[in-house]
Structure 1
Amino acid sequence: MSFLSKLKTVAAGIAVAAMVSTAAAAADQPTVGVVVPTLDAQFWNSYVDFMKKGAGELGVNLVVLNADNKPDQMVKSLEDLVAQKVDGIIFTPYWATAARGLTLAKEADIPVILTDSYPDFSPQSSRFPNYLAFIGPSDEDAGYQMAEALFAKIKPGADGKKVIGVVNGTAGTSVAIDRRKGLEKALKESPDVRVAGEVDGNFVRDTSQTAFESLYQGNPDITGVWAANGGTATGVLAAIKNRGKVPGKDVVVVGMDLNPENVEAVKSGDLLFDIGGHWLQGGFALVMMYDAIKGIPVPADADNVKLKLLPLTQDRVAEFQKDFPGGVPPYDFKQHSRFYNKEAKPAFFEMHYAN
């Protein structure tokens, strides 16, 4: 009898434990499949690199597939992992692919952890007992902090209004929606701010650059830009420079992700504010998945994690680079694994400055 069949005979909480306990029979070196939205974005490369570090420390065979910013490719990648009979799947359900991916995995008795973007249903439910956990950023809070920093910096025009442009992320994703909610909250608190227009940058540099160039050409009174992520911010900065303007002086930009090039942009003054660290979510998810495969279930109180992120301004760049050399905090995967360390604290943590 498959462990998902057994799950139907017990309560939801016990069912999840039964499922992951059965999975303990997996090989000493389990195979975990990972699907990311795109490897054209620096953020997702950092995400994968951290997971690879964890796979090496834990003894995991990691199979990484790239959806290449295509919904059909995301589904195909999930089908490929199911066909390979991987022991676990970690994926980011852009383009409303959560239910489809979880169904494919459920039919094959494969546990799943979702990262970064979440569906409208919770982990560890009777519908998808194989959906062990979600881990991702507190996007609404991040979007709000970005907006606050931007509004405080830009100056009003002759009409008393602070004019901004908005470059959103991939439409329909919880990531883009929640970050935009944070911006909306700040807008309601700041009646002196006017949004000249909004465009979608799809969370990647080139699309964001082209989209903002068009927006800026039609609205030259824009003096601030709320950019939905790191790649978006980089594209916006390039568009501003192509117009012969100076980022940080003529147009103030805020972004998110703490990508290395954006950290440098904050250092130089091109980018006013950045916030991030959530690319660590992939490595945290890997620890959770590894323990689950080894028979140690994800606790119910840790199955829906939204990380508070680390803000960065120019005056804190030196501190950031000292505390997080290369952007990576110290992290011992085995020490955070309850399979290796029975006294381990939760696999995730929030980044903080030392002082």
Structure 2
Amino acid sequence: MLKVLFTCVWLLGPAFCGVVQAASVVFLNPGMSTETFWVSYTQFMQAAAKDLGLDLRVRYGERDPRNTLEQAREVLQSSERPDYLVLVNEQYVAPQILRMAQGSGVKLLMVNNALTADQVRLFGAHDGINLIGSLVADDEQAGYLMLKDMLRQRGRVAPGESLDLLAFSGIKTTPVALLREQGMHRALAEHPEVRLRQLVYGEWSRERAFEQATQLFKRYPQTALVWSANDQMALGAMQAFQDSGRLPGKDALFSAVNSSPEILRERLSGRLSSLVAGHFTVGGWAMVLIHDDAKGVDIGAHGGRDRREALFQLIDAAQARRLLGPTPTVNFRALSAVGKPASYRYPFSMQLLMR
């Protein structure tokens, strides 16, 4: 289970050769191997693993939960099982994977989508499953920030007037999508002048959102605000709006989540009014937790085992330029709790990339 690396102090002779053990990790990536978000997510995770001396392998599920379940079965039944398996509760697959892991000796860490409250109640405690924790971004906050920021830019509405809003969410069976919706509804509750005309599930797809938006902009020609739970759906909706003869950023305000180069450029151009990003860093921070757990650190003592981090932040023009520039470097080893006092808390934040 441990990948063994041989190192020698050659000047002192082979008698001083030692063995360094690197913890092995498999990440079941639910996204597509060509999908900008999940590729950038993986790259950040790989940079962290390299810096921390972890042996990381990534398996892409290509947005098909059947692939993810089969990959989990292969990994957990292999004669060379990894020390750690990192998984995402995309389309609610986590309980099945946890059951597969029972008695395997593999430690599990959930990222991005943790177990839902209903799953926790139904799943209960199972012996032989070593779930060391979960690490997710505060997706409810992301949905809230987007709508609030668009309304800040839109300014006050005259008494008796209202603003029409269209919303594009992801996949209905993905906790992240539902949490972002909840954040949007929290902002709506604070702004009765905004009317949510329709919420549709674009399934994270640019093409599907384009088709949906083409019809919705005809149905609701007074649309003033467009909320999208990711960048690809926002881009599709913006294209449909432009094809209708109107200008994104002028005739209606658009928002998005993620930090792909294309959406960052749209933020700089002003066509996209509000952008929230930060959760592509979750996998990298997860590597820090795994590194420390492998070193015998009680990661729960430094902020809890089930962590919801406020990783999302609004991206302004200067930050968009920063993210479009050279890849930011992070000293992941400096974030480790190894050798730190009991009061230490992991400082996971997007600000670490903005220095």
* TM-score after normalising by structure 2: 0.82
Q: Which residue of 2 aligns with 1:56?
A: 50
Tell me, what secondary structure is at the counterpart of 2:136? strand
Q: Which residue of 2 aligns with 1:200?
A: 201
Tell me, what secondary structure is at the counterpart of 2:102? helix
Q: Return the offset for 1:141.
A: 1.5
Q: Does structure 1 residue 33 correspond to structure 2 residue 29? A: no
> In 2 relative to 1, CA 161–252 (structure 1 residues): closer, same or farther, beyond 3 Å?
same
Of the candidates 24, 39, 42, which is equivalent to residue 45 of structure 1? 39
Q: Which residue of 1 aligns with 2:89?
A: 93
Of the candidates 108, 116, 119, which is equivalent to residue 115 of structure 2? 119
Equivalent-residue separation in structure 2 for 1:74 and 1:171 (angstroms): 18
Q: Which residue of 2 aligns with 1:10?
A: none
State whether residues 88 and 293 of structure 1, in contact with CA within 8 Å, keep that contact through their aligned partners in structure 2: no
State whether residues 276 and 311 of structure 1, in contact with CA within 8 Å, keep that contact through their aligned partners in structure 2: yes
State whether residues 201 and 208 of structure 1, in contact with CA within 8 Å, keep that contact through their aligned partners in structure 2: yes
Q: Which residue of 2 aligns with 1:308?
A: 310
Equivalent-residue separation in structure 2 for 1:41 and 1:213 (angstroms): 23
> In 2 relative to 1, CA 326–126 (structure 1 residues): closer, same or farther, beyond 3 Å?
farther
State whether residues 29 and 88 of structure 2, in contact with CA within 8 Å, keep that contact through their aligned partners in structure 1: yes
Aligned residue identity for 2:187: A
Tell me, what secondary structure is at the counterpart of 1:224? strand
Q: Please show how residues 169-180 of structure 1 align to structure 2 within 5 Å.
A: 169-180=170-181
Structure 1: state its 5+ residue gaps: 1-25
Equivalent-residue separation in structure 2 for 1:68 and 1:174 (angstroms): 18
Equivalent-residue separation in structure 1 for 2:234 and 2:179 (angstroms): 18
Q: Please show how residues 40-189 of structure 1 align to structure 2 within 5 Å.
A: 40-84=34-78, 85-120=81-116, 126-127=125-126, 129-154=129-154, 160-189=161-190
**Which structure has more strand as a fraction of its residues?**
2
- Spell out, residue by residue over 1:199-227, the C-alpha distance to the aligned partner (whole angstroms, 9 max, x if none): 11112322222222232232222121010
Q: Return the offset for 1:158.
A: 11
Equivalent-residue separation in structure 1 for 2:141 and 2:277 (angstroms): 11
- Spell out, residue by residue over 1:62-98, the C-alpha distance to the aligned partner (whole angstroms, 9 max, x if none): 2211111112112112112213312111111111111
Aligned residue identity for 1:139: D
State whether residues 247 and 271 of structure 1, in contact with CA within 8 Å, keep that contact through their aligned partners in structure 2: yes
Q: Which residue of 2 aligns with 1:218?
A: 219
Tell me, what secondary structure is at the counterpart of 1:302? coil
Structure 2: state its 5+ residue gaps: 1-18
State whether residues 199 and 215 of structure 1, in contact with CA within 8 Å, keep that contact through their aligned partners in structure 2: no
Tell me, what secondary structure is at the counterpart of 2:188? helix
Q: Which residue of 1 aligns with 2:281?
A: 280
Tell me, what secondary structure is at the counterpart of 1:179? helix
Equivalent-residue separation in structure 1 for 2:240 and 2:326 (angstroms): 26
- Spell out, residue by residue over 1:255-308, the C-alpha distance to the aligned partner (whole angstroms, 9 max, x if none): 112333222111100111111111111011112123223433422532122222
Equivalent-residue separation in structure 1 for 2:296 and 2:287 (angstroms): 14
Q: Which residue of 2 aligns with 1:11?
A: none
Tell me, what secondary structure is at the counterpart of 2:217? helix
Aligned residue identity for 1:176: A
> In 2 relative to 1, CA 109–141 (structure 1 residues): closer, same or farther, beyond 3 Å?
same
Equivalent-residue separation in structure 1 for 2:98 and 2:326 (angstroms): 32
Aligned residue identity for 2:339: K
- Spell out, residue by residue over 1:35-76, the C-alpha distance to the aligned partner (whole angstroms, 9 max, x if none): 122124321111100111122222222221111111211211
Farther off after superposition, 342-351 or 285-294: 342-351
- Spell out, residue by residue over 1:6-46, the C-alpha distance to the aligned partner (whole angstroms, 9 max, x if none): xxxxxxxxxxxxxxxxxxxx981332111122124321111
* TM-score after normalising by structure 1: 0.82
State whether residues 168 and 201 of structure 1, in contact with CA within 8 Å, keep that contact through their aligned partners in structure 2: yes
Aligned residue identity for 1:44: W
> In 2 relative to 1, CA 31–214 (structure 1 residues): closer, same or farther, beyond 3 Å?
farther
State whether residues 116 and 175 of structure 2, in contact with CA within 8 Å, keep that contact through their aligned partners in structure 1: no
Q: Which residue of 2 aligns with 1:343?
A: 340
Provide the identity percentage: 24
Tell me, what secondary structure is at the counterpart of 1:245? coil
Tell me, what secondary structure is at the counterpart of 1:143? helix
Q: Return the offset for 1:184.
A: 0.7
The one of the two structures with greater contact order (alpha-carbon pairs below 8 A, sep at least 6) is 1
Equivalent-residue separation in structure 2 for 1:103 and 1:346 (angstroms): 31
Q: Return the offset for 1:126.
A: 4.0
Q: Return the offset for 1:332.
A: 1.3
State whether residues 90 and 112 of structure 1, in contact with CA within 8 Å, keep that contact through their aligned partners in structure 2: yes
State whether residues 24 and 55 of structure 2, in contact with CA within 8 Å, keep that contact through their aligned partners in structure 1: yes
Q: Return the offset for 1:159.
A: 7.0
Q: Return the offset for 1:351.
A: 2.4
Farther off after superposition, 162-171 or 344-353: 344-353
> In 2 relative to 1, CA 184–290 (structure 1 residues): closer, same or farther, beyond 3 Å?
same
> In 2 relative to 1, CA 242–327 (structure 1 residues): closer, same or farther, beyond 3 Å?
farther
Aligned residue identity for 2:31: T
Equivalent-residue separation in structure 2 for 1:348 and 1:234 (angstroms): 32
Tell me, what secondary structure is at the counterpart of 2:85? strand
State whether residues 89 and 110 of structure 1, in contact with CA within 8 Å, keep that contact through their aligned partners in structure 2: yes
Q: Which residue of 1 aligns with 2:5?
A: none
